[in-house]
Structure 1
């Protein structure tokens, strides 16, 4: 036999890690670029604080003269921008170059603010123009370098430290200049953080200024604050439209538009009521016109405004309409105005099959209903003395408007969701609508009776309302009985059920309220009319079921 060769053993050593094993991540402070970015941002902040101290605190302490302070700030800013451009071109110099350039441009912006507001070397108009040039140069360099951090640092540094240089009204203008300077950049690049830092400072400063002027005694500068709020809203809305036409999916643009629209909603608090009403009405017209472009197909194709921007405009416009209503109405006419606006919203929603518009209409209808209920509460409708004091033709008009809102709302629901096959949901819906309609009919009848000025107007109104209740019940029963057959649809069942419920409600009102409240010929008329309507309903009900039985098809 031959000799067996020895078996070869693999060399021993460390076992390599299996594929897919999780690798340990280094701590955040050891990751590439983290520390350098933090140091750069800290350097920007500290240097800009030093510039503010040079421009403001040195002036307060009497250190140097105005010219050396301003010239030193300008020279330092120019040197930082030049150094940043030089460092940026070197390998690994992107972070340092961005930090240096951002510090230089923000410092130059603060220098312009100081020359305009502290030293009065520049008239405000040339000062704003110079500030726009500095801001445009800063964000222009950010575009050239394709660096969102540079643009954010320039705008944020100037906006955050500007209030430490001045708190005069000119501050709003300088913040609005920053807001405007970044719009062309946003149209070209999707830089969401720049959206926020260019919008939030102007919005917050305007709100704080409005609050301060609302608390203090009014003066002639309030018109300037209203103008600033208008400018913020115009830039926010116009910029959002321009940006979203280029990038329909830019949700941040719509968010910042919503923020920019809020100061002008608060600004009417600074001016008298007629001017505030005109301002709110005009603002509502503009915003609702923007929102309406998505509801008309031809306008939608031309405007190309995305749905989220239209929702923001529609929401702001709805609040502006509410402010305008508050200005042109009184406590008694406000419910009528709210209900009419709600009916318009619901009608548009049904025609365009738009659920957001239906939501706005529902909100107005609810507010109008609550307002009407505060005027015509159940106690007022039950007591003659209170009815005479509180009810009028305006209340009757609001009640009729409420009936119109109910009709339009039911039509809109059918347009939006179609005919429901859920009998329980349909029943609950019609029961609620019937109850609201009965209350509104009673309010309208009693209000008209009281407003007529007759001695028995209150009881006549209640008599008429009871008769209308029974007439409505008869109409619902006749509608259902006319469509009675072998297969009873959900609509027929709801009509019959609602008719019977309203009949029971009319009889309850007749015996529990009218019998004790009405008197004389009015009470006789109510009982006779309700009795006749009941006879008609009973006769038609019996004949309908007899006809169904003769056809051999018992309704189910």
Structure 2
């Protein structure tokens, strides 16, 4: 209760809910945008449809369109300074400037009164004047309406290849605006039209049989879009590091370059993709260290976008420059490089790219060295070669570096469940790669018993690796129970796999002295490991050491009995 003599505080006053259509300026803006659209459609009809119907002559059509657009711009300049005239003035000026731009497109592409180079230069001047007026009025809607109106209606004036040039001019003319103004919508509307038009043109070129010159012009247009997008974004984000939309526009601008390589043969496509990858990955590399980030001022989100786009380009280069047999080698080498850098710099983003390439390389390798081919002498001799062995060796290096990188990034506790899962997955991949490498060598020799010798050696290598893991675990039994647990667990799993292969595959496939040698070597290794295993636990129990499970072994206890 309020103290005597004081009134209770009045409840807060609730503002009455106003429907959206009654809010200040909403209807006027909707009507203005509709007016811009309808008027520009009328300008297009004057320039194109009237020509198709034979109304008037070319000169009256062009002159009337230019005069009409100039009158609209003048009316907008006159109206914008009056009370309540800003919305109308912006709409009138945007309609007029876009109309002049469409007039230039028609003069260049339809009537051919201007050479394309001169026409593009005049269009650049018109677009620059429009965005300059938008900067003077501090109006993002004016710039957006000018660019969007011209970009959406220009394809109705012409569908020739020069259309891409006019759309790229719009993209270029807006770049200086972004330095002084944080206008995110302008980033998108200046980039998307040129990108979409180029992608559609590329798709049409893939379907139809076009001349070589048109393909080259599409490549030039794609390069221009990528250069304008990259340079504009870099210059903007150096001033405003938090401009995510600029990075999004940059990522969009890279897509035509990724698509245009499909128009060329494998060699040229690989060269174009490789050059694109070098540029993008070089841009991404500017942010890998704090010193380089401070020098270049490229924010992390822009570097990540460049790295992802560059990785796609690098994958295209790998596919274009290799065959089915050598594709795993190329992709696994890229994965090895990415993972090595990621581990050194502790970069999760680079590690993600490396793991993606490792997955692609692993799938490509599995498609070449399938389990069926590894199990059949005839298929192995037909499809496996030294390149398979080389890919497998590189794959083993990728597995080792991937484990090192993941442990550095994740900080998995030694002996924890996460580390156990990591080592189990790595062991499984390594066993498959080792088997493929050795069998491929045996099959590639062309010897009658090369396949069976390869499988015999593979089984022995499996058991040798298991023995090494077990001995390493036993050596660390007293010093680190966590390390011992992981090593012994991995070793026992590999031992089980080696024995399963020995009895389920080798016994039925191998013959003669080769089978005898496999059984003898595996048996000796098992005896050696078993003896060392029992002695290690006896010593650990006698000294009160820790068992792999983390509990202290009882003195004189038999680990097998436990």
The partner residue of 1:415 within 408, 411, 414 is: 408
CA separation of 1:388 and 1:550: change in aligned 2, threshold 3 A = same
Q: 2:541 aligns with which of 539, 545, 549?
A: 549
> Which range moved further: 89-98 or 168-177?
89-98
Name stretches of at least 5 consecutive residues in structure 1 with no aligned partner. Answer: 1-16
Q: Are 2:47 and 1:63 aligned? A: no
Q: 2:412·2:419 contact (CA, 8 Å) conserved in 1?
A: no
Q: CA deviation at 1:431?
A: 1.4
Deviation at 1:186, TM superposition (A): 1.0
Match runs of 1:11-26 below 5 Å: 19-26=11-18
Instruction: Give unpaired runs (5+ residues) of structure 2.
Output: 1-8, 552-562
The answer to whether the 8 Å contact 2:456/2:518 transfers is yes
Alpha-carbon shift at residue 421 of structure 1 (Å):
4.8
**Partners of 1:453 and 1:139 in 2: how far apart?**
72
Deviation, 1:238, is 1.2
- Larger mean CA deviation between 403-412 and 82-91 belongs to 82-91
**1:304 corresponds to:** 297
Aligned to 1:9: none
2: CA distance between counterparts of 1:42 and 1:508?
Answer: 75
Alpha-carbon shift at residue 511 of structure 1 (Å): 2.0
Q: Aligned with 1:92: secondary structure?
A: coil
**CA–CA separation in structure 1 for the residues paired with 2:331 and 2:544:** 52
Residue 268 of structure 1: SS of its match in structure 2?
A: helix
Give the alignment of 1:142-221 within 5 angstroms: 142-219=134-211, 220-221=213-214
* 1:371 shift after superposition: 1.4
Name the CA distance, whole Å, in 2 between partners of 1:523 and 1:536. Answer: 20
**Mapped partners of 1:99, 1:18: distance in 2:** 45
**Residues of 2 paired with 1:127 and 1:22: CA distance?**
58
Q: Distance in 2 between matches of 1:434 and 1:95?
A: 68
Whole-angstrom distance in 2 between the partners of 1:504 and 1:109: 75
- Report 1:24-35 matches (<5 A): 24-35=16-27
1:103 to 95, 110, 114: 95
2:112 to 110, 113, 120: 120
Q: Secondary structure at the match of 2:147?
A: helix
Per the alignment, residue 49 of structure 1 pairs with 41
Matched, 1:339 2:332: yes
Distance across 2 between alignment mates of 1:491 and 1:546: 19
1: CA distance between counterparts of 2:74 and 2:36?
Answer: 15
Contact 2:412 2:418 in 1 (8 A): no
What TM-score do the two structures reach when normalised by structure 2?
0.94
Matched position secondary structure for 1:75: helix
Does residue 523 (structure 1) correspond to residue 515 (structure 2)? The answer is yes
Moved more, 366-375 or 308-317: 366-375
Q: 2: distance between equivalents of 1:553 and 1:278?
A: 61
C-alpha separation between the residues in 1 aligned to 2:481 and 2:527? 26
Aligned counterpart in structure 2 of residue 72 of structure 1, from 55, 64, 69: 64
CA spacing shift, 1:530–1:204, aligned 2, 3 Å:
same
**CA 1:411 to 1:554, structure 2 compared with 1: closer, same or farther past 3 Å?**
closer
Query: Corresponding residue for 1:227?
Result: 220
Aligned-residue offset at 1:21: 4.3
Asked whether the equivalents of residues 171 and 194 of structure 2 are also in contact (C-alpha less than 8 Å), the reply is yes
2:476, 2:483 within 8 Å by CA — same for their partners in 1?
A: no
- Within the candidate set 428, 431, 436, 1:435 is matched to 428
Task: Provide the alpha-carbon RMSD of the alignment.
Answer: 1.5
* In structure 1, C-alpha distance between the alignment counterparts of 2:338 and 2:476, rounded to whole Å: 33
Take 2:473 and 2:27, find their aligned partners in 1: how far apart are those partners? 78
C-alpha distance in 1, partners of 2:134/2:22?
A: 28
* CA–CA separation in structure 2 for the residues paired with 1:423 and 1:34: 61
Q: How many Å separate the matches in 2 of 1:297 and 1:28?
A: 48
Work out whether residues 434 and 458 of structure 2, in 8 Å CA contact, stay in contact via their aligned partners in 1: yes
Does residue 420 of structure 2 align to residue 454 of structure 1?
Answer: no
Deviation for aligned residue 1:203: 0.7
Deviation at 1:554, TM superposition (A): 4.9
Shift of 1:89: 1.6
Which deviates the most, 418-427 or 151-160?
418-427
Which piece of structure 1 moves more, 146-155 or 71-80? 71-80
Runs of at least 4 residues of structure 1 off by over 6 A?
Answer: none
Residue range with higher mean Cα deviation, 419-428 or 458-467: 419-428
Q: Deviations over 1:144-186 (max 9, x none)?
A: 0100000001101100110111110010000000000000101
Q: Which aligned pairs between 1:295-374 and structure 2 lie closer than 5 A?
A: 295-374=288-367
Following TM superposition, by how much is the alpha carbon of 1:263 offset from its aligned partner in structure 2, in angstroms? Answer: 0.7
Contact 2:415 2:486 in 1 (8 A): no
Q: In 2, Cα distance between the equivalents of 1:449 and 1:296? A: 46
Q: TM-score, normalised by structure 1?
A: 0.95
